[in-house]
Chain A
Amino acid sequence: MLRFSSFFYKCRLSEDLCRLSILLDQSTDRNPPITSILIADTGIGCNLEEFQDLRCPREFSGAKIWDGLLSVKTTCITEDEVYYFHVNLDENISNKRLKRQPSQAKNGAKFSGTEVSLSVFGSTDVLMAPIIGFFQKMLVLQIPNVTMDLMVNQGASPATQTQYVFVVNSDKTSCFTASNLERLKSGLEDYVLRHENCLDMMCEHCFSDREHLKVGSGTACTEENRKRTGGKMEVVIVISDLLETTRQCSRSCDGKTEVLYFENFSPSPIPLVALIALKKIDWKSYGLILASVNDQDGHVFLEWENFPSHVQIQIALHWYHNQYPTRQKTQLGINLVKKGIKNALDDLKAKHEGFLLSSHARKICSYVPDLARSIAGLIFSSTDIDFQGDCLSVLGFQPQEVERDAVEDYIQRKIVTVIGMNERKPQKDQEAAPFLFFEGESKTSYFEDEEIDGEYFSTSLE
């Protein structure tokens, strides 16, 4: 109940526009400092039984709760009054934990929501970081009907008041009609462009525009009969080429890839199955060499051996569980995460020709300029004008206005596309024997391929 995500959950379930507000108010005359926290949402309201059965440690976001007392007000849209009660976290007996206070009449007003207040040891400075971090990550999901804000009072004077507002950017996506995956894509793009949503606008030192981001997404679902342990995985990967001026930016990434993990619409520490999956993915087939997976209290960063410093990769995983989140080390979960990520990487490859190719494919691509030059040569060196026109129209060019360089470039792109496509085909297909009906190399004597032809002794052929 005391996780921010549970407040957000109440808002998300409401179909109306909702607000989630947090107020931090620090007493100036206490040492150590005590901060009162008020969390309020205009969501669907709480059921009282939730508080009765509440089992929660006597701390909030890492700070110890001062008096062990929560003050809770809640009402549903259909109710006529606002319920008010105290929850004593130190009380072990369930039915004594909840102490009902006088309710307040709504006097015919139609509203719903929940307000929880408590006091903790600690300054606002310590409390702000995780709250802001939570809101910044929540923005990635681009839940359209919820706005979030944080008000921090560090003294009585208005000058010591600071307000942070977190609003979903709906410039690109129509959040209300878009799918969760579309919103995740748009949200992750914003997250990247604004340096983990720390900025209000795109960082112009690092990025030229949103269109230059390469975005891939993938979905993986478990089979119907295994729903209980699986669910659905949505993955978005954003790869960005940073501008040269990124050196002037203090927030620029250091080549690491942050993996954002969401579980049922909430930022969450990454589970073991996802960690294992991240290590097991065949990154090499996408031209990436994974150096390490660093798990810092559930915040996971991938480090690469060979990734250029001017490129940044960001990954977001959203796991929708049908029941309680699975944190077991199950092959099913590992496969689900792997499949989702692989699908997102394949999507990136499909959308961006010649991108994320394996080192094998990149070697093949090194022949592409030559191949394109020869093919273009066969067209343009031909003395048959009709043949030239025919070829150009096959490629979609108007024969009158075409230049050889343009044709060569086009052929290059087409060959790279085909090489990328070959990579995405099942491995079995790729391993098909190049020889039909006949062994690869004939077992013949040393002389068999020697052929003195005029001026020289030719060496053996393969």
Chain B
Amino acid sequence: MEGNFQISKTTNLLRRIKDFTRSILEDLAEGRSPIISINRFRNYCMNPEADCFCSSVEPKGQEILTLKKESQTYRIDMLLRVLLIVQQLVQENRHASKRDIYYMHPSAFKAQSVVDRAIGDICILFQCSRYNLNVVSVGNGLVMGWLKFRESGRKFDCLNSLNTAFPVPVLVEEVEDVVSLAEYILVVEKETVFQRLANDMFCKMNRCIVITGRGYPDVSTRRFLRLLMEKLQLPVHCLVDCDPYGFEILATYRFGSMQMAYDIESLRAPDMKWLGAFPSDSEIYSVPQQCLLPLTEEDKKRTEAMLLRCYLKREMPQWRLELETMLKRGVKFEIEALSVQSLSFLSEVYIPSKIRSEAISP
């Protein structure tokens, strides 16, 4: 799979690091102040005008880092520190997590977010994806269902045990020999729902692959989902709680995150469909009143902010309508609330009926 800026060979990245280092040295030797230009990307704006160009993967601006401001100098300092680590990782073909990098100089980095930003800056600067830097995350996601594949020679045979959770592979770029007999991919927000489906032998009854990012999805889970979509060309459905947090997770799978907007093409799932839970489901499926929680002020603020995102207006107006309905009703509920009548309601009734209606919808 090719990311937006993927570099085919590590030598290419190393060459760019060397060019970058050399240009800094030339500036210093000539008595010039080094200038580092970092493109800025965004995957949405909150501009009420419809003519924004957020859907484009092109940079939306540029940040100029110099040694004139302390905040920028600190950022350059952190960038160079992480770049030095990355150079060593790539040269030695070793991998490290962002957390590993943070713990190499915790007092200098001060916070994990500092390392994250430095990694983002490096990716943008060298036009590559994070995995090109040999920076990986310990996978948080789980997968089960009609699927088998290899990762760096290691076999993942989910087919052999359809309702057993397998960890999402860390080195997604090294995943190969993907074989599947599934008809669709189901992404669920929460591990509890994933385990409910596993207990209900959902994959035995339904030819599908179930994935969860266990909450907000990490890069590995999103990359793996994107890989499966491209390799298998299967429809993807997403099941999240009917609350602002669930919707944010849905949007992250579908449109990518702002933080990694520079690498959006390798991380988003553009054809993902929202299976539920919708605000209207509470009436359709008779969710008891005690399971309907009022939206907090914070929830309302979050929802109102999300309603302004340009990608909803442009690409998913029907999602936006559901979000408006939630705001109007002023209540939220979790997916588990649908199972009040029966423990297996989700796997036996709700999901199959939603999948069927999605299949027949135009």
Mark interface residues in A350-379 (1 if CB within 8 Å of B CB, else 0). 000000000010011001001100110111
On chain B, which size bracket covers the interface?
A: 35 or more
In the complex, how many angstroms separate the beta carbon of B29 from the nearest chain A beta carbon?
A: 5
Question: CB-nearest residue of chain B relative to A363?
Answer: B70
The answer to whether A459 touches B21 (Cβ under 8 A) is: no
Complex-state Cα separation, A390 to B219, whole angstroms: 37
The answer to whether A448 touches B258 (Cβ under 8 A) is: yes
Hey, which bits of chain B sit against chain A, CB under 8 A? Answer: 14, 17-18, 21-22, 24-29, 31-34, 40, 42, 44-46, 60-74, 76-77, 80-81, 83-84, 87-88, 91, 97-99, 108, 111-113, 116-117, 120, 137-140, 213, 215-220, 248, 257-260, 301-302, 305-306, 308-309
Complex-state Cα separation, A396 to B67, whole angstroms: 23
Q: Tell me, yes or no, whether A224 is within 8 Å of chain B by CB.
A: no
Cβ-defined partner of A434 (8 Å) among B33, B65, B84, B138? B65
The answer to whether B63 touches A418 (Cβ under 8 A) is: no
Q: Tell me, yes or no, whether A324 is within 8 Å of chain B by CB.
A: no
Asked if A437 meets B117 with Cβ closer than 8 Å, knowing A414-B28, A418-B32, A453-B137, the reply is no
Q: A378-B21, A396-B29, A455-B97 given; name 10 further pairs at CB < 8 Å.
A: A375-B25, A382-B91, A414-B28, A418-B28, A436-B61, A443-B46, A448-B257, A448-B258, A453-B219, A461-B116
The answer to whether B217 touches A461 (Cβ under 8 A) is: no
In chain A between 425 and 444, which residues have their CB closer than 8 angstroms to a CB of chain B? 430, 432, 434-439, 442-444
The answer to whether B17 touches A414 (Cβ under 8 A) is: no
Give chain B residues whose Cβ lies under 8 Å from the Cβ of A250: none
Complex-state Cα separation, A387 to B20, whole angstroms: 12
In the complex, how many angstroms separate the beta carbon of A455 from the nearest chain B beta carbon?
A: 5
The answer to whether B46 touches A436 (Cβ under 8 A) is: no
The answer to whether B67 touches A451 (Cβ under 8 A) is: no
The answer to whether B218 touches A453 (Cβ under 8 A) is: yes
Give chain A residues whose Cβ lies under 8 Å from the Cβ of B27: 418
Asked if A381 meets B62 with Cβ closer than 8 Å, knowing A396-B29, A418-B28, the reply is no
Cβ-defined partner of B83 (8 Å) among A378, A434, A453? A378
Question: CB-nearest residue of chain B relative to A447?
Answer: B248
Asked if A391 meets B68 with Cβ closer than 8 Å, knowing A370-B108, A454-B99, the reply is no
The answer to whether B46 touches A444 (Cβ under 8 A) is: yes
The answer to whether B61 touches A437 (Cβ under 8 A) is: yes
Complex-state Cα separation, A419 to B108, whole angstroms: 21
Q: Tell me, yes or no, whether A415 is within 8 Å of chain B by CB.
A: yes
Asked if A438 meets B80 with Cβ closer than 8 Å, knowing A367-B74, A394-B22, A461-B117, the reply is no
Complex-state Cα separation, A414 to B215, whole angstroms: 48
Cβ-defined partner of A449 (8 Å) among B14, B22, B258? B258
Complex-state Cα separation, A104 to B17, whole angstroms: 90
The answer to whether B81 touches A370 (Cβ under 8 A) is: yes
Pairs across A and B, CB under 8 Å, 8 listed: A370-B81, A375-B21, A382-B91, A418-B31, A419-B33, A444-B46, A454-B219, A459-B111
Give chain A residues whose Cβ lies under 8 Å from the Cβ of B137: 453-455
In chain A between 5 and 34, which residues have their CB closer than 8 angstroms to a CB of chain B? none
Complex-state Cα separation, A422 to B33, whole angstroms: 7
Most central of A394, A395, A451, A455 by chain B CB within 10 Å: A451
Hey, which bits of chain A sit against chain B, CB under 8 A? Answer: 360, 363-364, 367, 370-371, 374-375, 377-379, 381-384, 387, 390-391, 394-396, 411, 414-415, 417-419, 421-422, 430, 432, 434-439, 442-462
Cβ-defined partner of A430 (8 Å) among B61, B68, B248, B302? B68
Complex-state Cα separation, A374 to B74, whole angstroms: 13
The answer to whether A422 touches B67 (Cβ under 8 A) is: yes
Give chain A residues whose Cβ lies under 8 Å from the Cβ of B260: 451
Give chain A residues whose Cβ lies under 8 Å from the Cβ of B67: 364, 415, 418-419, 422
Give chain B residues whose Cβ lies under 8 Å from the Cβ of A432: 64
Asked if A421 meets B63 with Cβ closer than 8 Å, knowing A370-B81, A391-B25, A446-B302, the reply is no
Cβ-defined partner of B70 (8 Å) among A364, A421, A447, A457? A364
In the complex, how many angstroms separate the beta carbon of A408 from the nearest chain B beta carbon?
A: 12
The answer to whether A371 touches B77 (Cβ under 8 A) is: yes
In the complex, how many angstroms separate the beta carbon of A351 from the nearest chain B beta carbon?
A: 14
The answer to whether B216 touches A452 (Cβ under 8 A) is: yes
The answer to whether B81 touches A448 (Cβ under 8 A) is: no
The answer to whether B33 touches A374 (Cβ under 8 A) is: no
The answer to whether B63 touches A434 (Cβ under 8 A) is: yes
The answer to whether A435 touches B61 (Cβ under 8 A) is: yes
Give chain B residues whose Cβ lies under 8 Å from the Cβ of A363: 70
Cβ-defined partner of B80 (8 Å) among A371, A395, A414, A455? A371
The answer to whether A452 touches B62 (Cβ under 8 A) is: no
Cβ-defined partner of B120 (8 Å) among A390, A437, A461? A461
The answer to whether B22 touches A434 (Cβ under 8 A) is: no
Asked if A378 meets B80 with Cβ closer than 8 Å, knowing A418-B32, A430-B68, A454-B220, the reply is yes
The answer to whether A462 touches B117 (Cβ under 8 A) is: yes
The answer to whether A446 touches B305 (Cβ under 8 A) is: yes
Give chain B residues whose Cβ lies under 8 Å from the Cβ of A439: 61
The answer to whether B25 touches A367 (Cβ under 8 A) is: no
The answer to whether B62 touches A377 (Cβ under 8 A) is: no
Give chain A residues whose Cβ lies under 8 Å from the Cβ of B14: 382, 384
Complex-state Cα separation, A371 to B70, whole angstroms: 13
Give chain A residues whose Cβ lies under 8 Å from the Cβ of B81: 370, 374
The answer to whether B42 touches A382 (Cβ under 8 A) is: no
Cβ-defined partner of A360 (8 Å) among B60, B70, B120? B70
In the complex, how many angstroms separate the beta carbon of A399 from the nearest chain B beta carbon?
A: 14
In the complex, how many angstroms separate the beta carbon of A162 from the nearest chain B beta carbon?
A: 55
The answer to whether A395 touches B25 (Cβ under 8 A) is: yes
Question: CB-nearest residue of chain B relative to A380?
Answer: B84
Asked if A411 meets B28 with Cβ closer than 8 Å, knowing A435-B62, A456-B99, the reply is yes
Give chain A residues whose Cβ lies under 8 Å from the Cβ of B111: 459
The answer to whether A434 touches B72 (Cβ under 8 A) is: yes
Question: CB-nearest residue of chain B relative to A370?
Answer: B77
Cβ-defined partner of B45 (8 Å) among A364, A382, A383, A442? A442
In the complex, how many angstroms separate the beta carbon of B216 from the nearest chain A beta carbon?
A: 4
